[in-house]
Amino acid sequence: MKELMRLIYNDENIGKGAPVDANKLALANVELKSKGFCTIPENFAGMLKIFNGVSSYGNRIFGVNPQSNFFDDLVKYNERANMEDKAENLILGADEFDYLVYNNQKSKYQLIDKEDYEIKDESADLADAVARILKI
Amino acid sequence: MGKPNLNQNMQKARIAALKEKSNFNPRGHLYANKKKSQDAAEPEVKLEDAPEIVEDVKAEEVVVEKAAPVKQETTQEIYDSISDLSTKYRESNSYSDKKAVEEYLDGHDMEFYEQAYVPLSEVKQKVARMVFSGGIEKPLNWERNKFSSNYRQIANFPYKFPPCNPDDYDLSHSSVWQVFKQAPEFAALEGTFKEALAKRGVTKEMLPELNIYDFSDILYEKCKDPKNMTFAKMFEGAKQKNTKRFIEENREEFELKLLAIPNIDRNYVKDLIYNMETFGNTDMSRFKNPKTGKPYENQPVIDVHHIINIKDAGQFEAMGESFLNVNNYENMCYMERTAHEACHLTDRPLFVSKRDPVTGKREIKTIQRARPKLGIKCFLGFSKNLIIEAKGKVIDNIRKLSNAQEGKKEFNHKPAMEMA
C-alpha cells in the first residue's frame, strides 16, 4: 500500500483530493449504515486519510464529501448506483467499464462489470485493485 | 419603477418573437452571433419586414400574460427524472412506462433504444479496451487462474524457463495474435510481442495454446514501467487520440459553448482546452485554480462516452466491420459527467439465463440503452446551446450505426436467444 501511495503522490498527472478527517469518515459510515450499505473498509479509509479521492484520465477512486466535484462522493455514488446486494457490496471507484467494489462478506476487493455485474477479478490487496482502476 | 405599460409589453413581446425567428439564443449568445456571421445566406429579420409577426404577437399577447412562468429544470433534476422514469420502467416493463422514458429523453436531446445483444468474444472485448486505454493491464488473481496450463508453470516458476530466440516464433499460429493484429497499434508491435514471448521463456510449441490472459501477463512483464503497478502503457490510446482530434476540430465552438455556461471560470476553460490539446485528457482533477491555489470547484467535468458501448461492439461485426471500430472517432461523444451518468441510467441487459453462482455471469438477450441523439458530438448539458453537432463524414458513419441498430438491411444478426 505504501508503494501505491508513493506512486500516486509522485505522479503529477493524477488528481488527488485533500485528506479527509476522522469525523467526516465516521459520519459517512453512519450514513452508509442507515441506508443499508456496508461501512467503508479500514484500509480504504486509511487511504482516504491521505488522498480523499483520486482521479486519473477519468478513472476514479471515490472520496468522502470531497472538496471538489472532480472527485465523486462515495455515499452519494452508492445511493445513485443502487447496486444489487448493497449490504454486501460497496462501490469505491470506477473506470470506464468496471466498478471497484468491496465485498464485505468475503473481505475482498472486486472488479465488477458496471452493467451485468460480472466479477472480473478479485483481490484481498487494495493496492492492486486501486492501481487497476486508475491504470497506474 | 412602475408597472410597465401595454406598449412596453407589446414591444417586448415583438422583440421576443423576432429573436425567436432569428434563432437568438440568450445563453449561447456568443455562439449564436458567430453562427450568424458565418452563414451569410441567412438574412437578418427586421421588424418592418415582418408584419405577420406583429399580428402573431398581438394574437398571443393574452396567452403570454396569462401563462405561468416556466421553471427551467436543473441538470440534477433531469438526472433524477431519468432515474425515476427508468426505475419505474424497469420495475413494470410496461409499454406506457417505456413510452414515458422515450418521450422524456427525446425532449432532452437523448434517445432510448432496445436491441438484440450481439455477443463479442472475451478476447475481442479485452483487445478493444486495450486499444482504448493504450496499454496492458496486469492480470490479478482471478485472471491468473485463467492462464493456460503450460503458461501457468512459467508464471509460477519463471526461473525454470530460460529465454528463447524471438526469431523462432511464427505468430500466425496464435489465434489471440490474429485478434491483436487487427489493431494497427498492436500490429506495429509484432517485434515487441516476439521479444516478450522470448523473454518469458515461452516455447514456439506453446504459442497456439496461449490465451488472452497469458498474453496480457507476458506483455505486461515485458513493458511494465517502475512508475506504475498494474498498467503498462504501450501506445497512445484511442481515448487520448480522439480527444486531441475533437479539440483540434471543435476548439472554437467548444470554448464558446463552455463560456456560455453560467458561473464558468475562464481559467478553467483555458486549462481544459490545454489539457485536451496537449495530453488528450479531459480529467481536470489535477489542475489548480490560479486564483485560489486549490482544485477547481463546480466546473463542468467532461467524460468520453462510447456511443456504441464496447460490450456491444459485436454489432460492428454483424455489419461486416471490425469490432475495433467501436474506438473510432465517430463513435465518441464528449459529455458533461452528470449528463453522461444520466445517459447510462437506462442501461439494462435482459438476461436469458440465471447468474452463474461462481462467476456471476449471465447470458444477455437484449440490451436497453440511451445515448445523445445521433449527430451530437459534444453534450455539455441539457440545452441546445450546450450541444456541438458532428460534422461531415462523422455524421454519415453514425447514421450507418443507427440504421444497423434499427435492424435495417446491412445489419444481419441472430438474437442471442436463438443462438442459445
What is the average per-residue pLDDT within B83-109? 93
pLDDT value for B18: 37
Measure CB to CB from residue B349 to each of A96, A116, A119 and give the nearest one. Answer: A116
Distance set, CA B29 to CA B25, B40, B256, B336 (Å): 5, 17, 9, 20
Is residue B308 over pLDDT 60?
A: yes
pLDDT value for B361: 67
HEC string for chain B? CCCCCHHHHHHHHHHHHHHHHCCCCCCCHHHHHHHHHHCCCCCCCCHHHCHHHHHHHHHHHHHHHHCCCCCCCCHHHHHHHHHHHHHHHHHHCCHHHHHHHHHHHHCCCEEEEEEECCCCCHHHHHHHHHHHHCEEECCCHHHHCCCCHHHHHHHHCHHHCCCCCHHHCCHHHCHHHHHHCCCHHHHCCHHHHHHHHHHHCCCHHHHHHCCHHHHHHHHHHHHCCCCCCCEEECCCCHHHHHHHHHHHHHHHHHHHHHHCCCCCCHHHHHHHHHHHHHHCCCCCCCCECCCCCCECCCCCCEEEEECCCHHHCHHHHHCCCCHHHHHCHHHEEEEEHHHHHHHHCCCEEEECCCCCCCCCCCCEEEEEEEEECCCEEEECCCCHHHEEECCCHHHHHHHHHHHHHCCCCCCCCCCHHHHC
What is the average per-residue pLDDT within B138-162? 92
The model's pLDDT over B353-403, given as tens digits with 9 standing for 90+, comes to 666 776 666 677 788 899 999 889 999 999 999 999 988 766 666 666 666
pLDDT value for B136: 95
Measure CB to CB from residue B285 to each of A55, A97, A135 and give the nearest one. Answer: A55
State the Cα–Cα distance between residues B162 and B304, nearest whole angstrom: 43
Cβ pair B334, B305 in contact under 8 A: yes
Predicted confidence band of residue B142 (pLDDT cuts 50, 70, 90): confident
pLDDT value for B328: 93
Is residue B126 over pLDDT 80?
A: yes
Centroid of chain to Cα B345 = 14
Q: Which of B121, B135, B152 is nearest to B216 (CA)?
A: B135
Mean predicted lDDT score pLDDT of chain B:
81
CB contacts, 8 Å: A56 with chain B: 283
Backbone dihedral region for residue A53 (phi beyond 0: left; psi -120 to 50: alpha; all else: beta): left
Sequential pLDDT tens for chain A (136 residues)? 888 999 999 998 999 999 999 999 999 999 999 999 999 999 999 999 999 999 999 999 999 999 889 999 999 999 988 777 888 999 999 998 899 999 999 999 999 988 778 888 888 899 999 999 999 9
To the nearest whole Å, the CA of B135 is away from the closest chain A CA by 9
pLDDT value for B42: 36
Residue with more model confidence, B27 or B79 = B79
DSSP label at residue A73: B
Is residue B1 over pLDDT 60?
A: no
Residue with cell 450481439: B118
CB contacts, 8 Å: A7 with chain B: 227-229
Cβ pair B352, B416 in contact under 8 A: yes
Cross-chain residue pair B142–A14, CB shorter than 8 Å: no
Cross-chain residue pair B140–A128, CB shorter than 8 Å: yes
Cross-chain residue pair B229–A111, CB shorter than 8 Å: no
Cβ pair B263, B284 in contact under 8 A: no
Predicted confidence band of residue B20 (pLDDT cuts 50, 70, 90): very low
Q: In this structure, how many other beta carbons lie within 10 angstroms of the beta carbon of residue B410?
A: 12
pLDDT value for B398: 63
Single pTM value for the model: 0.81
Measure CB to CB from residue B311 to each of A10, A115, A119 and give the nearest one. Answer: A115
Closest residue in B to A70 (Cα) is B285
Cross-chain residue pair B303–A58, CB shorter than 8 Å: yes
CB pairs under 8 A between A and B: 122
Q: Is the interface score ipTM higher than 0.90?
A: yes
Q: Based on the number of CB atoms within 10 Å of its own CB, is A30 exposed (0-12), middle (13-18) or buried (19 or more)? A: exposed
Q: Which of A55, A70, A72, A69 is nearest to A134 (CA)?
A: A55
pLDDT value for B48: 42
Cross-chain residue pair A121–B140, CB shorter than 8 Å: yes
Measure CB to CB from residue B229 to each of A15, A117, A127 and give the nearest one. Answer: A127
Is residue B45 over pLDDT 90?
A: no
pLDDT value for B387: 95
Radius of gyration of chain B (CA): 27
Q: What percent of chain B has pLDDT over 90?
A: 57
Cross-chain residue pair A136–B284, CB shorter than 8 Å: no
Cβ pair B230, B147 in contact under 8 A: no
State the Cα–Cα distance between residues A29 and A91, nearest whole angstrom: 13
- Which of A110-124, B180-194, B198-212, B296-310 is predicted with the least confidence, judged by mean pLDDT? A110-124
For residue A122, the surrounding DSSP H or E stretch is strand A119-123
pLDDT value for B355: 67
The model's pLDDT over B271-285, given as tens digits with 9 standing for 90+, comes to 999 999 999 999 999
The model's pLDDT over B152-175, given as tens digits with 9 standing for 90+, comes to 999 999 999 999 999 999 999 999
Predicted confidence band of residue B90 (pLDDT cuts 50, 70, 90): confident
Predicted confidence band of residue B201 (pLDDT cuts 50, 70, 90): very high
Cross-chain residue pair B359–A119, CB shorter than 8 Å: yes
Measure CB to CB from residue A132 to each of B230, B281, B287 and give the nearest one. Answer: B230
